[in-house]
């Protein structure tokens, strides 16, 4: 057995053990204050039992650590997310979102539910600091900023795990994330000097695209560059058929890839895999790497998706469902 395989076997064993541990094994929790990822000292209660996260990606992160902590979702669950997560998730109310783009938060519902803390998963920068101060002032609830960048996922999991008293489970999930990131790093070390390039179709401003592309070793061809792209990446739009629009009038840099059929759509089940702050960006980086470099990155993506959903959300997907998700629309 190769070293990498031994690591995966040991990791799988650790994951199985932790998933079998009862909730009562969570250690006593008495932090008093915590320094969040924008450097704020935030007072927190001795034990955290109820959490409101300001975004759906943040809610899915909390849900992965302990579904019982999450008070509600930020938007109504999509049919695919509802189907995959099952009945416990369906019973949670919709509490709204509060981030740099949306403020749909239901203040009355949140006040009635009395969360112990608010979790805000985002890039730790000045706009985030200003927003979270506003959130905390208006809600009157301790609000903790958690780094939402892709490569910080292991750190974020451990930080939240300690915060909510789920350190053992958080460690296992963090190790799983680290294993994916390490595999991508090894792949990048073996890439040729000339990397694959991609032409982006769709609204890249609403997703986290740069980090997954970088981790997958892919460069972007912008609209001002006439160099032919090796592949076309579509960020799905809920209204417009971007594949059809592209075929009508492809830009010069996309003609070659379009003719060769190298057109790929970001998976969107159970959520868009490029959603800022989401765990699914780990899968997206792997999907991009295998799409661009199938000979160098040969992970079985259907198996990975099945494993990922079982590890993070204790959901068993059939191989058929996993393959359907990867094929896309």
pLDDT at 2 over 70: no
Mean local confidence (pLDDT), 212-228 = 85
**Candidate from 223-227, 262-266, 268-272 with smallest mean pLDDT:** 223-227
- Structure token digits, residue 74: 């930020």
Mean local confidence (pLDDT), 259-288 = 96
Q: Is the separation of the CB atoms in 313 and 81 below 8 Å?
A: no
69/198 same-domain check: no
CA distance 110 to 217: 42
Q: What is the CATH number for 223?
A: 3.40.50.1980
pLDDT at 72 over 80: yes
Higher pLDDT, 32 or 297: 297
251-262: b (≥16 Cβ within 10 Å) or e: eebbebbbeeeb
CA distance 94 to 140: 20
Higher pLDDT, 23 or 64: 64
**Structural element, H or E, at residue 211:** helix 210-215
**Which residues have a Cβ under 8 Å from the Cβ of 94 and sit 6 or more positions away?**
72, 73, 74, 75, 76, 106
Structural domain boundaries, residue 296: 193-300
Q: Which of 329, 303, 308 is CA-nearest to residue 318?
A: 303
- Structure token digits, residue 172: 């296992």
DSSP 102-156: -B---HHHHHHH--SEEEEEE--SHHHHHHHHHHHHHH-S-EEEEE--GGGHHHH
**How far lies 278's CA from each of 113, 240, 293, in Å?**
25, 24, 24
Determine the pLDDT at residue 15. 54
* Residue 158: inside a domain: yes
Determine the pLDDT at residue 327. 87
pLDDT at 26 over 50: no
Give the number of other Cβ atoms within 10 Å of residue 4's Cβ. Answer: 12
pLDDT at 4 over 50: no
CA distance 44 to 21: 25
Determine the pLDDT at residue 6. 44
- pTM for the full model? 0.89
Confidence of residue 264 (pLDDT cuts 50, 70, 90): very high
175/198 same-domain check: no
* Residue 324: inside a domain: no
Q: Is the separation of the CB atoms in 27 and 167 below 8 Å?
A: yes
Final residue before a domain boundary, out of 124, 153, 182: 182
Q: Please name every residue paired with 35 in a beta bridge, in sequence order, or none if there are none.
A: 41
Q: Is 172 helix (H, G, I), strand (E, B) or coil?
A: helix
* In the chain, % of residues over pLDDT 70: 89
> Which stretch, 11-20, 57-66, 232-241, has highest mean pLDDT?
57-66
Express each pLDDT in 145-171 by its tens digit. 999 999 999 999 999 999 999 999 999
| Mean of pLDDT over the chain | 89
CA distance 140 to 203: 35
174/72 same-domain check: yes
Determine the pLDDT at residue 150. 98
pLDDT at 77 over 70: yes
* Residue 153: inside a domain: yes
pLDDT at 23 over 80: no
pLDDT at 33 over 50: yes
Determine the pLDDT at residue 133. 95
What is the Cα 17 distance to its own chain's centre?
A: 24
Determine the pLDDT at residue 14. 56
Express each pLDDT in 78-133 by its tens digit. 998 988 888 788 899 999 999 999 899 999 999 999 999 999 999 999 999 999 99
Mean local confidence (pLDDT), 59-82 = 95
Final residue before a domain boundary, out of 182, 204, 219: 182
pLDDT at 175 over 90: yes
pLDDT at 68 over 80: yes
**Which residues have a Cβ under 8 Å from the Cβ of 110 and sit 6 or more positions away?**
52, 71, 95, 139, 141
240/293 same-domain check: yes
Determine the pLDDT at residue 31. 56
Final residue before a domain boundary, out of 182, 208, 242: 182
* Residue 307: inside a domain: no
Number of domains making up the chain: 2
* Residue 328: inside a domain: no
pLDDT at 204 over 60: yes
CA distance 136 to 117: 10
């Amino acid at each position: 057995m190769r070293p990498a395989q031994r690591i995966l076997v040991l990791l799988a064993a650790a994951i199985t053990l932790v998933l079998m541990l009862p909730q009562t094994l969570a250690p006593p929790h008495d932090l008093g204050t915590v320094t969040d990822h924008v450097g704020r000292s935030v007072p927190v209660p001795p034990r955290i039992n109820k959490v409101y996260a300001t975004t759906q990606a943040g809610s899915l992160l909390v849900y992965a650590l302990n579904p019982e902590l999450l008070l509600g979702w930020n938007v109504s669950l999509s049919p695919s997310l509802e189907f995959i997560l099952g009945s416990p998730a369906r019973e949670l109310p919709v509490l709204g979102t509060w981030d740099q783009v949306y403020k749909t938060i239901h203040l009355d519902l949140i006040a009635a539910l009395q969360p112990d803390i608010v979790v805000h998963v985002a890039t730790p920068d000045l706009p985030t600091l200003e927003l979270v101060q506003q959130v905390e002032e208006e809600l009157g609830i301790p609000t903790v900023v958690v780094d939402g960048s892709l490569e910080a996922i292991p750190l974020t999991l451990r930080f939240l795990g300690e915060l909510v008293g789920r350190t053992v489970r958080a460690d296992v999930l963090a190790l799983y994330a680290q294993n994916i990131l390490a595999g991508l790093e090894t792949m990048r070390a073996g890439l040729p000097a000339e990397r694959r390039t991609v032409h982006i179709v769709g609204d890249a401003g609403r997703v986290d695209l740069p980090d997954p592309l970088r981790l997958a070793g892919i460069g972007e061809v912008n609209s001002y560059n006439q160099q032919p792209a090796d592949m076309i990446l579509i960020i799905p739009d809920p209204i417009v058929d971007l594949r059809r629009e592209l075929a009508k009038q492809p830009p010069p840099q996309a003609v070659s890839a379009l003719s060769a059929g190298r057109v790929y759509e970001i998976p969107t089940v159970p959520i868009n895999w490029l959603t800022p702050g989401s765990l699914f960006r780990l899968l997206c980086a792997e999907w991009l790497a295998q799409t661009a470099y199938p000979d160098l990155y040969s992970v079985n993506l259907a198996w990975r998706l099945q494993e990922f959903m079982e590890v993070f959300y204790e959901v068993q997907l059939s191989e058929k469902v996993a393959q359907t998700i990867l094929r896309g629309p």
